[in-house]
């Protein structure tokens, strides 16, 4: 079999602060405005315990990713790490989990944007979500520096609105509300942790941009700064939502807007909706960039069709991969359910990080920067949280992985 044509590399145009912004915009938009609702439905009063578990496992995964990215500064993230440290099949499992999981995340973010922008829009919501995917796919095709610049603008708007909400929550009074009840037990808390992990997984965007960062040795710092900031924001918002909405939280599709309205700050509700829409758009932009680059890395190794390894010679971005991902996300937006998309995304991404922890665990001593115990905890946590997700999400995830494995077996047998 002949080797694929050598493709040009991606341009190193991003600074460390750009990488932090891309990861943080993915994390804040990926859940702070939407993930608390299904998590509260699963765990009830154990919601914040689930948030703590998700944050601890996210930290373990983040340091594993940082350790690996410092040794293998190329596009692809854990797909590359798994191939280099564990072998091709492990790399494929990670890459496939990332591509399918984060494609679902893209759809979830587009739908979150539309839900806040058009709260009573019906099918107009889906149309607006699809339009956002098309627009941001085009933006990603115009170069990674434009992607990072847009992410900065959207992140700034998101942080401004979240600070405003927290200020209103600290000074406002929602009156007497029914507290969240203890539902789901330990398994419910673990399920909530798995759903909230969807919110923290944005630091993967930083690792997948390793080939485009000028100083990849600083990626570990970027990952930890982004994750630490996101954990603080999520904790403050979670505490506010539990206090203000209480038992109403599991039934609220737009919880921060509902909490603002419950405080009597009707003037701020439109601002919250604008901020939530901006956050979801920032996450969508970063997610599309990350999935496109992992698809590029898999196509380079023939784990996906080799035409997807194309890099645009002018803008130096994975053009065909980006277009294919955009089309797939539009299809999901037009057909999928938001909560189902979150659960399915979490399953795929937890498999991805399980491989990341196993890869970091197997690195030689000279490449190690963190204790092995953190990678063991991260590996076990990913497996347990994936198993605890809603049954439909687990079954759908296993079915998609079976399809991917079958496809690779057929391809390798040829």
What are the CA-CA distances from residue 199 to residues 70, 193, 209, 259, 408 (Å)? 24, 10, 19, 19, 30
pLDDT in tens, 313-372: 776 777 788 888 989 999 988 887 777 788 888 899 899 999 999 999 998 888 888 889
Span of 61-70, 162-171, 237-246, 379-388 with lowest mean pLDDT: 61-70
pLDDT, position 51: 92
pLDDT, position 215: 60
DSSP 274: H
Per-residue pLDDT at 139 exceeds 70: yes
Residue 175, helix vs strand vs coil? coil
Per-residue pLDDT at 9 exceeds 60: no
Dihedral sign computed on CA atoms, order 366, 372, 376, 377 = negative
Among left, alpha and beta (phi > 0; psi -120 to 50; other), residue 74 is beta
Contact 111, 341 (CB under 8 A): yes
Higher pLDDT, residue 404 or 294: 404
pLDDT, position 321: 85
CB atoms within 10 A of CB 179: 12
Q: What SS3 string covers 84-100?
A: HHCCHHHHHHHHHHHHH
Overall residue count recorded for the chain in this entry: 414
Place of tokens 């410092």: 70
Per-residue pLDDT at 167 exceeds 70: yes
By CB atoms closer than 10 A (0-12, 13-18, 19+), residue 121 is: middle
Cross-strand partners of 223: none
CA-based nearest residue to 75, from 300, 385, 323: 300
* Sequence-ordered list of residues with C-beta below 8 angstroms from that of 227, at least 6 positions apart, any chain: 23, 27, 58, 59, 62, 200, 203
Measure the CA–CA gap between 321 and 7, rounded to whole angstroms: 13
CB atoms within 10 A of CB 361: 18
Report residue 311 as tokens. Answer: 């890099």
User: Averaged over 256-260, what is the pLDDT?
Assistant: 90
DSSP 276: H
213 phi/psi in degrees, rounded to 5 = -100, 135
34 phi/psi in degrees, rounded to 5 = -145, -30
Per-residue pLDDT at 1 exceeds 50: no
Measure the CA–CA gap between 394 and 340, rounded to whole angstroms: 10
Per-residue pLDDT at 145 exceeds 70: no
By CB atoms closer than 10 A (0-12, 13-18, 19+), residue 406 is: exposed
Measure the CA–CA gap between 224 and 222, rounded to whole angstroms: 6
Contact 96, 237 (CB under 8 A): no
14 phi/psi in degrees, rounded to 5 = -100, 140
What is 89-145 written as a DSSP string?
A: HHHHHHHHHHHHHHHHHHHHHHHHHHHHHSTT-THHHHHHHHHHHHHHHHHHHT-HH
What mean pLDDT value characterizes the chain? 81
Among left, alpha and beta (phi > 0; psi -120 to 50; other), residue 318 is beta
pLDDT in tens, 272-285: 888 888 878 877 87
User: Averaged over 362-389, what is the pLDDT?
Assistant: 91
User: Averaged over 177-194, what is the pLDDT?
Assistant: 84
């Amino acid at each position: 079999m002949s080797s694929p044509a050598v493709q040009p590399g991606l341009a190193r145009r991003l600074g460390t602060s750009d990488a932090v912004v891309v990861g943080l915009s993915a994390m804040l938009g990926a859940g702070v405005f939407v993930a608390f609702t299904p998590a509260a439905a699963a765990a009830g009063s154990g919601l914040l315990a689930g948030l703590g578990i998700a944050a601890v496992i996210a930290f373990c995964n983040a340091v594993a990713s940082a350790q690996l990215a410092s040794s293998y500064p190329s596009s692809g993230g854990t797909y590359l790490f798994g191939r280099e440290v564990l072998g091709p099949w492990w790399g494929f499992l990670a890459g496939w989990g990332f591509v399918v999981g984060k494609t679902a995340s893209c759809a979830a973010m587009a739908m979150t944007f539309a839900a806040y922008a058009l709260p009573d829009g019906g099918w107009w919501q889906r149309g607006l979500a699809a339009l956002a995917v098309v627009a941001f796919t085009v933006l990603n095709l115009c170069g990674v520096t434009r992607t990072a610049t847009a992410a900065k603008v959207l992140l700034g708007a998101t942080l401004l609105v979240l600070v405003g909400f927290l200020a209103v929550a600290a000074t406002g009074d929602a009156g007497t509300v029914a507290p969240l009840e203890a539902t789901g037990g330990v398994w419910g808390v673990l399920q909530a942790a798995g759903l909230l992990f969807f919110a923290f997984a944005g630091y993967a965007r930083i690792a997948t941009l390793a080939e485009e960062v000028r100083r990849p040795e600083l990626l570990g710092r970027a990952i930890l700064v982004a994750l630490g900031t996101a954990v603080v924001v999520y904790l403050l918002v979670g505490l506010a939502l539990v206090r203000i909405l209480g038992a109403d939280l599991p039934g609220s599709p737009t919880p921060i807007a509902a909490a603002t309205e419950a405080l009597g700050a009707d003037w701020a509700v439109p601002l919250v909706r604008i901020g939530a829409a901006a956050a979801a758009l920032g996450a969508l932009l970063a997610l599309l960039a990350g999935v496109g680059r992992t698809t590029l890395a898999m196509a380079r190794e023939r784990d996906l069709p080799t035409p997807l390894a194309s890099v645009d010679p002018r803008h130096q971005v994975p053009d065909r991969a980006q277009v294919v991902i955009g089309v797939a996300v539009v299809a999901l937006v037009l057909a999928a359910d938001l909560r189902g998309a979150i659960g399915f995304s979490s399953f795929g991404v937890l498999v991805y990080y399980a491989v990341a922890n196993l890869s970091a665990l197997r690195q030689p001593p000279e490449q190690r920067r963190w204790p092995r115990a953190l990678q063991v905890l991260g590996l076990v946590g990913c497996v347990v949280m994936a198993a605890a997700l809603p049954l439909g999400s687990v079954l759908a995830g296993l079915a998609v992985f079976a399809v991917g494995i079958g496809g690779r077996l057929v391809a390798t047998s040829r």
